[in-house]
Amino acid sequence: MKNDLYELTRRRRSVRRYGNAHIDDELIREIMKVALTAPTSFGHKPVEFVVVRDKGMIRKIGACKQMGGSQINGADAVIVVMVKTADKRQAEFWIEDGAIASAYILLAVEQYGLGACWVHIRNRIGQRGTSDQEIRALLGVPEGYTVLNLVAIGEKAEEKMAYTDIDLHTENVHYGKY
């Protein structure tokens, strides 16, 4: 059966090494349009993004995560995914809201044949405080937001096999009863 979305999702793999190709701002805007269609709890739309293109700033953001942050250094763009957590009503599902938007970004990136990787920030530590605090300070994010993760994007510089039907954990899906 035709399954265009599966054709896309099976090709999406975490890409952590990037080439030097510059991604057009226009293409990044198209990717972000996809992110903005992601569902959010109660339709509150509490997820916001900072698109970072400046190489120096990308390095500084990477340094905000003590272990593994430097993996974003070669990325051409880094999307900082943050959620408005000040309002308790909107904050209940903040992780879910941010995660779904991030997944949309990962798929949108694959659609354009580029590579991307989720880089975790929640509960991670930086140089002096939490990674979240340090990234918000760097980017001038106002109080009331929490950074969930980054999505590093760039030209693919590593080959990853697309998933096939054989790779799927079909045993994880239960029909009708466990």
Ligand X SMILES: Cc1cc2nc3c(=O)[nH]c(=O)nc-3n(C[C@H](O)[C@H](O)[C@H](O)COP(=O)(O)O)c2cc1C
Say if residues 93 and 114 touch (Cβ distance below 8 Å).
Answer: no
**Residue count at the site for ligand X (CB under 6 A)?**
10
Q: Out of 78, 79, 81, 119, which residue is the one contacting ligand X (CB under 6 A)? A: 119
Distance CA 30, CA 6 (A): 20
Selected from 93, 112, 118, 125, the binder of ligand X by CB under 6 A is 118
Angle, helix 4-11 to helix 94-111, in steps of 10 degrees: 100
Binding mask 39-68 for ligand X (x = CB under 6 A): -----------------------------x
Tell the smallest beta-carbon distance from residue 88 to ligand X (Å). 23
For the CA atoms of 11, 81, 21, 17, the dihedral, rounded to the nearest 10 degrees, stands at -60
129 binds ligand X (CB under 6 A): no
The DSSP annotation for 130-152 comes to: BHHHHHHHHHTPPTTEEEEEEEE
35 binds ligand X (CB under 6 A): no
- Measure Cα distances from 11 to 39, 43, 148, 152, 160 in Å: 23, 30, 24, 17, 8
Beta-bridged to residue 130, according to DSSP, are 125
53 versus 122: smaller Cβ distance to ligand X = 122
Q: What would the x/- binding string for ligand X be over residues 5 to 24, using CB under 6 A? A: --------xx-x--------
Q: Which of residues 137-176 bind ligand X (CB under 6 A)?
A: 160
Binding site for ligand X (CB under 6 A): 13-14, 16, 68, 71, 117-120, 160
